[in-house]
Amino acid sequence: MKDSKIERIRKDMLTACIKLADLGFLAGVGGNLAVRIDSKLMAVTPSATDYYTMKPEDLCILEINGLKMVEGTKQPTTESGLHASFFSLRPEIEVSLHTHQPLASAVSLLGLDMDIASEEGKKNIGPFVRIVSYAPSGTPFLVRAFRSRIIKETNGYLLRNHGLICGAFTLDQTIANVKLVEKEAARFLRNRIEKNPNLSYMPNAVKDQLLSAL
């Protein structure tokens, strides 16, 4: 029974990765995906693999507690510890996605929590996306920093100077969430540019150009 569940999860993850790569959330810019199998196991994408040529068996099955690989031949993503933290501290989260999406990553440079304005975002993610202090990617320091910020009020976390990690209950919702965060990040940045008195010296033409890029 478990094997058929793992098989289905692997297939669904593959489809989701292609969708995310097509949307520009994974291709070329890295990022990785994890899905909970049960309370003990998770499936994660392998490190440094082209998502368009990835096969179901390339997905690695790991223990959430301790990250021991129980199935797979490739090296699991170096961010497996982040996904495992999400699954262990938030037992209701089923999917964890890490991206380097451009606008959310830009907001992560500010070192601030980002509010969420849309109703859909508030419902699926929470009233804000929470900042996690900087630590180098793939290290236990980043895992520790992330763990210390996980709360039940939000499913979205900005890894400072790095990117986004977002939890969800389904793969479809994960895709919707990262799209949503990117939109919210555009709004957040636009707001800060328009309302920032320190930018009053900036000629309007430059400001307009900056805003049109968001």
Q: Which spans of this chain sit near Zn ion (rule: CB under 5 A)?
A: 137, 163
Concatenated DSSP letters for 99-132?
A: E--HHHHHHHTTT--EE--SHHHHHHT-SEEEEE
Minimum CB separation of residue 138 from Zn ion in Å reads 8
Please, are residues 33 and 17 in contact by the beta-carbon 8 Å criterion?
A: yes
* Dist. CA 69–CA 42, nearest whole Å: 10
Query: Whose Cβ is closer to Zn ion: residue 6's or residue 95's?
Result: 95
* Least distance (Å) between residue 118 CB and Zn ion: 25
Least Å from the CB of residue 142 to Zn ion: 9
Which token pair is 15? 């489809």
- Pairing type for strands 156-159 and 128-132 reads parallel
* Shortest CB 185 distance to Zn ion, Å: 16
**Closer residue to Zn ion in complex, CB, 6/74:** 74
Residue whose Cβ sits closest to Zn ion: 137
Q: How far is the CB of 30 from Zn ion (least distance, A)?
A: 6
Comparing CB distances to Zn ion, the nearer of 6 and 132 is 132
- Rounded CA-CA distance 52/45 in Å is 12
How is residue 62 annotated by DSSP?
Answer: E
Cα separation, 174 vs 63, in Å, equals 22
CB of 57 vs Zn ion, minimal distance in Å: 24
Q: Kindly tell me which of 88 and 137 has the beta carbon lying closer to Zn ion.
A: 137
Please say which residue, 137 or 161, places its beta carbon nearer to Zn ion.
137
45 vs 124 by CB, closer to Zn ion: 45
Residues 6+ apart with CB under 8 A from 45: 13, 17, 32, 33, 34, 51, 54, 58, 59, 60, 76, 77
